[in-house]
Amino acid sequence: MSYARKRIVFDTSSLIPACLNPDREPAEIFRRALLEHDVFCSADTFNELATVLKREKFNAWRPLEHRLLWVKIFRESVILVEATASVNECRDPKDNKFLELAISANADVLVSSDVHLLEMHPFRGIQILRLTDLKPQIFEQNECEHAWHQSCDAALKHFDETGLHATQDDVMAWMGTWGTDKGLPVPVVKRLKKSP
């Protein structure tokens, strides 16, 4: 059973470290987002990324041809959507394009290191997270959900094999008394009677 894929938008500030340092955590987090979730860009956000990564100042980290190849791979790996929403709410007007993309892509998360975007968290129900916060809040949450689903599958298999169960009413009554002086004992497990 799979857990819910998130719809994610990365702004330029969060993608630069992923490009410049392919062996470091930002690149690992971005790769994992591509593999496990849906990542979106628009023509405007892609053009900004491509333009910024051509700057000479980044030659000290990675040669231009490597950066251009990374941009090409990025474009082939993400989902291009038309940003149809119009937003003029960010203090830095140049950042509105990322909010427009997030709305148009129906994103769950906008990843940024830009203070003008981060201060808008949450924006119209969209989480705005730092790259480093994406890992614990999204990836680890998904791992917990996945483990929970596996536990449920195992419990269902055990029930199918043995018929042992506790009724919902018994479990809910027991849980309702946790931490009180009138705590109920653990519910009695019963065997389901199979019909003839």
User: What's 13's domain CATH number?
Assistant: 3.40.50.1010
- Structure token digits, residue 48: 């900004």
How many folded domains does the chain comprise?
Answer: 2
What letter represents residue 87's amino acid? V
- For residue 193, tell me if it sits in a domain: no
Q: What is the pLDDT of residue 120?
A: 93
- For residue 169, tell me if it sits in a domain: yes
Instruction: Mark which of 112, 131, 150 sits at the end of a domain.
Output: 131
Q: What is the pLDDT of residue 15?
A: 96
**101 and 154 co-located in one domain:** no
Predicted TM-score of the model (pTM): 0.70
SS3 readout for the chain? CCCCCCEEEECHHHHHHHHHCCCCHHHHHHHHHHHHCEEEECHHHHHHHHHHCCCHHHHHCCCHHHHHHHHHHHHHHCEECCCCCCCCCCCCHHHHHHHHHHHHCCCCEEECCCHHHHCCCCECCEEEECHHHHHHHHHHHHHHHHHHHHHHHHHHHHHHHHCEECCHHHHHHHHCCCCCCCCCCCCCCEECCCCC
- For residue 105, tell me if it sits in a domain: yes
Instruction: Mark which of 131, 149, 170 sits at the end of a domain.
Output: 131
Q: What is the pLDDT of residue 91?
A: 94
Q: How many CB atoms lie within 10 A of CB 188?
A: 8
Q: What is the pLDDT of residue 1?
A: 29
Q: What is the pLDDT of residue 169?
A: 76
Mean pLDDT by 10 residues, the chain (196 residues): 76 95 90 91 97 96 95 95 94 95 96 94 94 74 57 65 73 75 78 63
Q: What is the pLDDT of residue 190?
A: 75
**122 and 153 co-located in one domain:** no
Q: Which structural domain range is residue 111 located in?
A: 7-131
